[in-house]
Amino acid sequence: MVLQKYVTYLSRLNLVQLLSCMVTEGVVKRSNPIRVLRDNVVIYEGELESLRRFKDDVQDVRNGMECGIGVKNYNDVKVGDQIEVFEIVEVKREI
């Protein structure tokens, strides 16, 4: 769940939106795809641009921890939105 939203500028042209989030269930992995949900409706599917914990780039964040998230190519995330991180698993068919 998005707790707080920060907007920062890396330069005059680059606007970066950082989201303060709490992991409520499971593990957030940087390499997995995400969905942004507002009122339980998917409003965006994409990937993470950054995943931080105490200013350090990390690969994953576990249940119950806070983290900073940057969403790639999407800036309309609001406080209270949910970010769902999922994993796509390909299962080989058995005959």
> Which pLDDT does position 8 carry in this prediction?
55
Q: pLDDT at residue 50 above 70? A: yes
Q: pLDDT at residue 1 above 70? A: no
The pLDDT of 29-41, averaged and rounded, is: 89
Partner residues linked to 46 by β-bridges = 34
Distance separating alpha carbons of residues 46 and 24, to the nearest angstrom:
20
Structure tokens at 9: 């500028």
